[in-house]
Each structure stands twice: as C-alpha cells, then as structure tokens.
Structure 1
Amino acid sequence: MSFSLADARFRLVRALGLFRRGLASLRMRGLRATWQRVGAQFGVFAPRARQTLLAADLSAFAPFDVPCHDAPAVSIVVPVYGHLPQTLACLRAIAAHPPRASLEIIVVDDASPDDSAATLARIGGLRLHTMPANAGFIGACNAGAALARGGHLLFLNNDTVPQPGWLDAMLATFARAPDVGIVGAQLVYPDGRLQEAGTMLVRDGRGENRGRFADPLHPQLRYCADVDYVSGAALMLPRALFERLGGFDSRYAPAYYEDADLALRVRDAGLRVLVQPEACVVHLEGVSAGTDLSQGMKAAQARNQPVFAARWAQVLAQRPADPVAAGQLPRAGVPQVLIIDSVTPMPDRDSASLRLVNLMRLLREAGMHVVFLPADRRHLGAATQALQAIGVEVWYAPYAKSAAQWLRTHGGRFSRVMLCRHYIAHEFLPLVRRHAPQAQVIFDTIDLHYLRELRGAEVSGDPALRRAAERTRAQELDVVRRCDMTLVVSPSEVALLARDAPQARVALLSNLHEIAGPGRPFAQRHDLVFVGGFRHPPNVDAVKWFVGAIFPAIRARLPQVRFHCIGDHVDDAIAALARVDGVIIHGHVPDITPYMDGCRIAVAPLRFGAGVKGKVNLSMAHGQPVVATTCAAEGMQLHDGHDVLLADQADAFADAVVRLYEDETLWARLAEHGLDNVRQHFSLDAARRTVQAVFVDGADDRAQP
C-alpha cells in the first residue's frame, strides 16, 4: 500500500505533539529533566539489542570444576557417546558462566568408543555415570534422569554451548505460570543464525522448525511462545512430571521423535510447552548423530516418523498439511491485541508500567496473543526482554522501520488495539482506523491527564499551566469520544467522564498488584518511605512539601526516624534535600522489597494528581500502612482510620505519622485492612472480569491471520 494522507497526518501530528510536550515539560521540569525525557523518547541513551555468542572452547583438556550442589534445583543430564572435545566445550561453558540456580550435572557416558569416561572423571563436581553397553540417546537420558536429585530435569546435548543466563531463564519460566510442563531454549548456529525457536507439527508428523536460518532477534521469533514441541537438545521439565509420564518412550529408541512424543503427552496432561528465547544455546547440529538420514542413528528419524504419526493421528489431523502454515504463530483463530504506548514499560520504575505489564499478563492468561509497539520503536534492553520472556511480541527498530509502515503490514491481525495516554492516542488513532478498521480501539488514559494538570495549575497558581491544562482537556476528551472504549483507574474518574463525555463507553481498570503479604511485624520495622519517580511533577512537589513543612515536626518528636526517598530521575532540587538531617535520597533502587518490608510507614503527601496512586497500593500490598493526603487516596475506597490515615495540612500530617509510628494496635489494623483493600480492588484477581469483558468477549475472527 502506498504512502497515504493518514500516514502524513500521523507524522505531522506526532512532530507537533512532541514539540508542544517539550515546551510544557520545560515549564514544569526545567531544561535538564526535559532533556532526559527527550532522550528517553528518542532512545538516545537506550541500549540496543545485540547478540554476542560465547564460542566453544575446544582447547586441550586441563582439569576444571563444574557447579555442584547437595540439594540442586536443577539436574542437567548430558548423554555422551564420543566427541569428547564437544562435551568439554559444553561443560566449560557452564563452568565459566554458572547459573544462579543450584544445580548438578550428570554426564551419562553411553559406552563411548574414545576416552571420554576417563577424561570426564577428572572434572571436579561432575556426576559421571557409565553405561555398561550403548543404550542410545533415550536409554542414556532415562538412566541419567533416574539418578537426578533436582526438582527439574534439563536434558542437554553434548554438542551445545549454553549461553550465559540460559538455565535461569528457563527455570524462571516455570515460576511465572503453574500450567507450564516443558520449556525449551532457542537454538542457534555458531554463526548466529537461528536453528529453531521451537517446532510445530505438520499433519504427516514431520516437525517444522520455527525460524530456521532466520535472525534470532526478530520480534516474531523472540518472544516466549507456545509450541508443539521443543528439541531434546535443551529441554527442561519437572522431574516428578517426567517420572509420572514414564520418561522418554523407548518405542523410539535409539532416538528421534522422543521429544515430540513427550511434549504431546505433557500437553495431554493439560500443561503447556514453551520455547523461551531468553535461554539461548548454540547447537552444533549433526555432531553427535550426523545428518545423513539413510544411515547411522539419524536413520531412526525417518523410521520413527510413521510410528509417531500413527500414535498421534488424532492430534495431527488438526495440524496444517502445509509446513509453512504449520510453522506460523500465533495459530489461526487466536485473538490478537495490539498495545501502543510511548515507551516500553519498566515496572520497577513506575506504577503505570507495572499496571500495563500486569494487564499483558492477564491478557496472555485469557488466551490472547499480545503485541506491543512502543511509539519510539526502541529496544530498551532488559525491559524489552522482560516482556518477551512473558510471551509478548515486542516490536522495535530496525524491524519496525516506521509506525505507519508497520501498521500497514500488521494492522489486519488485531481484534483489539489499545492506545495508552491521550497524546499517543491522538497521534495513532487515524492510522489505526485506516490500517486496522476491523479492530475495536480502546483508549487507556493511565490517569486523566487533564485532571492532574488542572490541579497542578491550581496549586502553582500559574496561568500558563492552566491554559496548557485546558488544551490537554480538549484533546483528551476528543480522544475519549472517538475511541470505542475508554479505561480509567478510579471511580471518581468514571464519574468525571460521565459528566464531561456522557456518550463515551467507560470501564474501570485500576492499578494491578500482586499481593506480597504482611512482611515484617511492627517491632522489626523502622523509618518512613516515599516511592515515586521525579519526572512526575506531583511527586516532586510532594517530597519538597514533606521535607520542608512536615518532616521537621516529626523529627522533633521521633528524633531517630529517617525518611527514605526512592525514585529515579532525581534532579538537583531533590538531591539537595539530603542535606536535611534524617533524609536519605536513594534514587532508583533495583529491588524495593527491603523498604516495603522494612520501613514502618509509607507516606503519600501528594497535593495534586489524578488517577490511583500506585505507591499507596504497593505499600498496602506489602502490609505497610500509609499516611496520605485526600488527593493521594482518591478513588481507592479507603477510609480514614480503617485502612489509611488521611491528613491534608502539614501539622495534621505530622501528627498522623507520629501517632501511627507509636501505636502498634492501630498499625496492625491498618496493615491488615490495607491488604484486604488491595485484594478486593487492585489485585490481578479483581481485574479479570473487566479484562474478559473489554478485551476477550466478542473478539471475533475478522482479523487476518
């Protein structure tokens, strides 16, 4: 399709929107903070995706040690028949970059014709088992599994070079969902080309390797995907499940189709089979078994195909006859949803990101295929990889050369398109209507920006901010009217839109949090904590007000209490607050849990804002009571003295903090009721009904495969 007026309009509107937001940011945040936002928007400081492979170490043998734990989480089983240099290279790779998880390595020497057994016996920490006679791949794997002590088994070919982080990525995949039965790694050739990202079955029983010889970083091959089976070259599953299913089936001895058969038995048990591309393993295909289908062990591949096809005839009858069609994911009929936001979410940085990532998780649980396109089209390193690891298809440059071109190509896939934030929706809505006319368009406000800006202008008394807020109001309400559905995060915003946009369809989808639990008891907790990024003007105002007007009164009565301030993008004005006795400016911390579980009280002294405050939810989800302003507790079904303490004046806020800090009975009551509030209103369980109604119900098959 040629370049259109809609495409030209999108580029013009986007450029003008970025310019206006830059000017507004200059007024609110200053030059330095604005430059940081511009850099983030255009990815100036963002890491780029890269693929640097660990090469096989084929040097002469010298004794070395491999990881070995008495109570391993994972047992790696490596069947060996000769090819000692490759076996050593495999073990050296694991030893050089040991996983974080506890493990043991069991090498099963299958009566090797060379001196493998004698040499391997000199490796420290290795559990070596020698077979009295050659039993083939299946026999060796089953023998190794019988010796395993780990909760999970990981079958690994000896002609592989596992890349750093591979095992931990596979193990983490099981932790994310209880219905996962098998996880496989992404296999690549030594030259970096993709060997396979899982395998799909053709109707005659053959396997179609996903992405063979393709770019392993391509977005359509880089996300954790449900597949028919994964190669036994790097396959992990719970040991109890393997034992319950009877191990690899000996009818396929010596090898081939045992991995596909095991995967279908796992699927028969109601469990999923996933390929996890975050686990990368270089596979020297053909080293151990050759490539000639007419002779040697490889001949068993052709011999076992009809055996496998006959056993699974009913399942295979549902698979495509064409190999190309068989290898495509998602399968035809799976509803797909596209989500567009300004940048890739970083859930450890802000509550909006956490809400969006948890929404994607709920959509995946509901059976939808989720595609995410950041408006800046940047690969954000770990943040992008984290989405891909949970099964989200994330697009970025150079694979998405432009938003307009990408939507022209992919728009027909989607039954739903969700646009986050009013300025993103304003820019993208015409393109989506043109290139995805079949899709229902959902506007996710994150929070009503115009409400927050109007309140900020009122606090500051700045007429320019008031005019900017009115412009935001007009644009945001225009987007609400033009979209099929609008999501807001609080009942008060539902009521506001009922007045300001009465014809709009509006649904409540609030913050989404996992329940961490009560954490430490009262006596083991100390100090106060505030959490919030300082790109957000309400947080800047809140901390300045707290330190300047509230904290001195608290310290006068509680002289040992410290105030921990956590949040990224600390500017000079916030950093200077650390000169006040008892104030600690931490900036961003990778793991916030110690502060949630260790600080006695969280404070939320926001004087303006909108939406639901993730900082309040986060603390309550950890059993940490909160002292907040009325604005900070808005729309959260909280009641003063029951699950929160509320105060809007500086002296009253200080009194509430001191009272709660010293009263264990009050503290315990608020902690318990705060947890209940999050469970009832802000947990993933609480949101499932809305997610089903907005995204899943009525999603038809009008979208193209």
Structure 2
Amino acid sequence: MIQPTVTKVLVIGYVWPEPRSSAASGHVMQILDTFVQQGWDITFSSPASPGAHKADLGALGIREVSIELNNSSFDMFISELRPDIVLFDQFMMEEQFGWRVEKCCPDALRVLETSDLQSLRHARHQRLKERLKVSADQDDFSVLFAPALREEFELMATTDLAKREVAALYRCDLNLMISEVEIELLVKQFGLPRELLHWCPLMVELPTTEPKAFEARAHFLSIGNFRHAPNWDAVLWMKSTIWPLIRQQLPDAQLHIYGAYTPPKAMALHNAAQGFHIMNWAEDALQVMSAARVCLAPLRFGAGIKGKLVDAMLCGTPSVTTPIGAEGMHDEEPWPGAITRSAVQLADAAVRLYRCPADWQAAHLAGAALLGKRYQRATHAPALIEKLRDCQKHLHERRTRNFIGSMLRHHAHKSTQYMAQWIEAKNRDTQPTRNA
C-alpha cells in the first residue's frame, strides 16, 4: 500500500514568533497551527536571534533551524529539505532568500505572509510627520484619515519601499493579506492580479465563556509592542492630549498601558498622580484586557488590521479607535465601541462608554457579532489550506499567467546571485567571476 506523501513546509521568518508580543507573530502562529492540524512536516528558520518571549515551536512538533544571511550554506540546507511550500514571513525575507529558493527548489510553492503593507504604513507615517510640522494642533487629525485609495497610491508609488515590496509580491505565487483594504489598493491602484492575493485575517476560536460584566471591570487599557512605531505614537498622543481630556471628565480615571520591550523613554512617561501607568509587558494580554472596561487604540498611522482590537472583541471589551485602527476590520458591520477622528471625539466616546452601561453593553455585543462574521478560525483555516492546494495543483499555469513575477524572479536570481558571490568572495579576499 502506497503511503500518502506528507507536505513539507519551510517557513523563513524575519523574527522568531512571539505571539504574546505582537499581532504579526500571533498571525504567524495561527498559520503554523493550521499547518500542524494538517499533519504537515514544518521547519521554521530565521536569521534573527531568539527574543525574550519566543514561542516554543518544538512543542508543536515544528523543527527549528537558524540560518544566516548571505551564506551559501542555506543552499545545501534547502536542497536537502526539498520543501513543497516555502512561506516567507515579511517581504524582506523573500528579498534575501527568494533567489536561493528559486535556484535550489524552483518547483516549491512560494507564499508570502505580509502581516501588513509596510510601504503603506511607512507612507502614512511620513504624512503624519508632515502634518505635525505644519500645525501644532494635537486635536483634529481628520486629514490623515480621509485619503482615498488613489491618494494612498500616489503617496506610496514614488518610494523605494513600495517598489521593493510590490516586486516581492509579484515574485511569489500567493500572498496572504490580512486586510481587504490592502487587497483593493494593490489590485485597483498597483495593478496586481487578484489571484496572487488571498484574504487571511486573524483566525480565532470564539469564546466559550461569558466575559466579565460592566460592573466587574475598571480602568482604561492600551496595549501594543513598543517597538512598533504606530503604538509608540499612540502613547505619545494619549499622554499629551487624549488622557488629560479624559481626566477632566473622570478625575479618578486610570489608564494602564502594556507593551513588550518597554524602552526607558516609555517608562519616563509613567505618572501615577495623573493615572497614567506604564505597565511593561503583560504575561497574559487577554487577562488584562478582560479586566478593563474600555480599550483605547488612538492610532494616527499604520496598516493591516490590529490584533489588540480583535483581542478586545474576544474579551468583550469595547474599543475606541481611529479610522486607521478600524481599517479593514469591520466592513459595514457596527464597530464595537467608537471610531473617531480627533482627540476630543476620542475622549468623549471613551468617557461615554466608561460611564454608560447601556452603550457599553451594545458595544460588547457588537464585538461578539463581528468576531463570528469575520474572524472565525473554522472559516479561514480550511479556506487557506484549500487555496494552497489549488495553487500547488495549478502552479505552472499560475506562473505562466504571472509573467511579470517570472521576469522579476529571473532578474533577482541573476543579480542577487552575483552579489552574494561577491560578498562571499570579498570575505575570502578574492574576486568572483561573473556569469552571464
């Protein structure tokens, strides 16, 4: 009896996953778990050093392998492994290792996990910086939240980061997109074929227990990795403008801010007298979210969808955010809290939810409904596996249709191969011979 072959997957990670530190790592772990449930043979590799909160991949049966940049030993490693699927975690890993995958395993399905469009996040950050240069007003940031997709494209199109990122998307056979808004931006403005993009948002199990009631909760909460620039900017906006407005209406209010890798500059903002508490890293993000009455996420720039806001829904905690924070997260469904465009609006909405049990309960229920409609693991995990299998089955046809991707892979292979040879030769104090 012929035994069915087991699908081999190689993941090349920008970092080792830390699901309790960032939503991006959480999403990677959800994808890995989906593969584990299929019984696939999974190897996770990364050139990064393990972080303080690294997940125990070995406990899931996932092999861990450290790799190096610009080192031909990777060629031997991947040639011996012979993966059926190679998943790049963030486009920089495709840039660094994609040409080696092309050389050693050309028939492997190449998949890119984007997390978010980094070029979109960067362009929006630049727009915020320009806005802050021309106006000292810290209240109304509507201008940041108004642009149509065409305006976002024009902001991104001239940047090197966008050119690099979109090229990587073309070179892959499938790209996992966490936000439908970003899919529309790529298809309608950048011209990417829709078949290269697959919507794969955060995938969660629905809660089986009733969250804490309004009366059992206290305090405001904000959470997010301090290394992520949008989170740090949100903390600064809360400190300078939003939190003083909330304290004017609720003099005894307390704000607890949690985040991994808390830098000294963040700890310097701690002020117990003002009710502004920097709490460092949360051992269990869902536990602290469940105890809070309102989640604050005043994001002035960013991309993708926000794990903290999905966590808020899981815990039944209403959230107050901006159009950037809610982008791509709720389609036309009611938001479980409030979406605001200014510091005054955000403070007023937060205070209303904190004070009013009826408004709080309505937001609480909206969160549960939104989870069920858009973020169920039971829906998205099977869809992901089905899409990957279909891509494997029709890989030749897909690559033939994606001529731009094939062309970019060809040139990336040649130019990066030469550069890698040059680097390795330089390390040996010899000069390589360039092959035509």
**TM > 0.5 between the two?**
yes
SS at structure 1 position matched to 2:128: helix
Matched, 1:360 2:32: yes
More displaced 10-residue stretch of structure 1: 445-454 or 408-417: 408-417
Deviations 1:436-472 (A, max 9, x none): 1110111111100000000000000299xx8998111
Structure 2 partner of 1:425? 94
- Residues 341 and 405 of structure 1: CA distance in aligned 2, closer, same or farther (over 3 Å): same
Matched, 1:660 2:331: no
Matched, 1:494 2:177: no
How far apart, CA to CA, are the structure 2 residues paired with 1:363 and 1:494? 24
SS at structure 2 position matched to 1:631: helix
Structure 1 residue 698: Cα displacement: 5.7
CA RMSD of aligned residues (A): 2.6
2:110 paired residue among 441, 455, 469: 441
How far apart, CA to CA, are the structure 1 residues paired with 2:131 and 2:298? 21
Structure 1 residue 389: Cα displacement: 0.5
How far apart, CA to CA, are the structure 1 residues paired with 2:115 and 2:99? 20
Deviations 1:233-258 (A, max 9, x none): xxxxxxxxxxxxxxxxxxxxxxxxxx
How far apart, CA to CA, are the structure 2 residues paired with 1:401 and 1:586? 36
Structure 1 partner of 2:398? none
Q: Which has the larger helix fraction?
A: 2
How far apart, CA to CA, are the structure 1 residues paired with 2:333 and 2:37? 36
Larger RCO of the pair (alpha carbons < 8 Å, separation 6+): 2
How far apart, CA to CA, are the structure 2 residues paired with 1:395 and 1:356? 16
Contact residue 642 and residue 669 of structure 1 kept, 8 A: no
Contact residue 337 and residue 360 of structure 2 kept, 8 A: no
Matched, 1:375 2:47: yes
Larger radius of gyration, structure 1 or 2?
1
1:508 paired residue among 196, 199, 203: 199
Matched, 1:627 2:297: no
For normalisation by structure 1, the TM-score amounts to: 0.49
How far apart, CA to CA, are the structure 2 residues paired with 1:497 and 1:419? 19
SS at structure 2 position matched to 1:348: coil
How far apart, CA to CA, are the structure 1 residues paired with 2:5 and 2:391? 13
Matched, 1:549 2:218: no
Structure 2 partner of 1:390? 60
- Residues 442 and 467 of structure 1: CA distance in aligned 2, closer, same or farther (over 3 Å): closer
SS at structure 2 position matched to 1:568: coil
Q: What letter is aligned with 2:198?
A: A
How far apart, CA to CA, are the structure 1 residues paired with 2:332 and 2:7? 41
2:295 paired residue among 602, 612, 619: 602
Structure 1 residue 663: Cα displacement: 1.4
Structure 1 residue 508: Cα displacement: 0.7
Structure 1 residue 587: Cα displacement: 1.1
SS at structure 2 position matched to 1:585: strand
Structure 1 residue 641: Cα displacement: 5.5
Structure 1: gaps spanning 5 or more residues: 1-317, 320-330
Structure 2 partner of 1:470? 159
How far apart, CA to CA, are the structure 2 residues paired with 1:459 and 1:381? 31
- Residues 563 and 382 of structure 1: CA distance in aligned 2, closer, same or farther (over 3 Å): closer
Structure 1 residue 367: Cα displacement: 2.8
SS at structure 1 position matched to 2:66: coil
Structure 1 residue 584: Cα displacement: 0.7
- Residues 403 and 332 of structure 1: CA distance in aligned 2, closer, same or farther (over 3 Å): farther
SS at structure 1 position matched to 2:87: strand
Matched, 1:479 2:150: no
Structure 2 partner of 1:343? 15
- Residues 354 and 521 of structure 1: CA distance in aligned 2, closer, same or farther (over 3 Å): same
Deviations 1:180-205 (A, max 9, x none): xxxxxxxxxxxxxxxxxxxxxxxxxx
- Residues 641 and 335 of structure 1: CA distance in aligned 2, closer, same or farther (over 3 Å): closer
Contact residue 15 and residue 50 of structure 2 kept, 8 A: no
SS at structure 2 position matched to 1:578: coil
Structure 1 residue 695: Cα displacement: 2.6
- Residues 548 and 660 of structure 1: CA distance in aligned 2, closer, same or farther (over 3 Å): same
Structure 1 residue 536: Cα displacement: 0.8
Structure 1 residue 638: Cα displacement: 5.4
Deviations 1:467-498 (A, max 9, x none): 99811101001111111111111110010110
Residues paired across the two proteins, number: 367
Structure 1 residue 676: Cα displacement: 2.2
- Residues 401 and 389 of structure 1: CA distance in aligned 2, closer, same or farther (over 3 Å): farther
Q: What letter is aligned with 2:315?
A: H
Q: Which residues of 2 match residues 259-408 of structure 1 at below 5 A?
A: 333-376=5-48, 378=49, 383=54, 386-396=56-66, 404-408=72-76
SS at structure 1 position matched to 2:269: helix
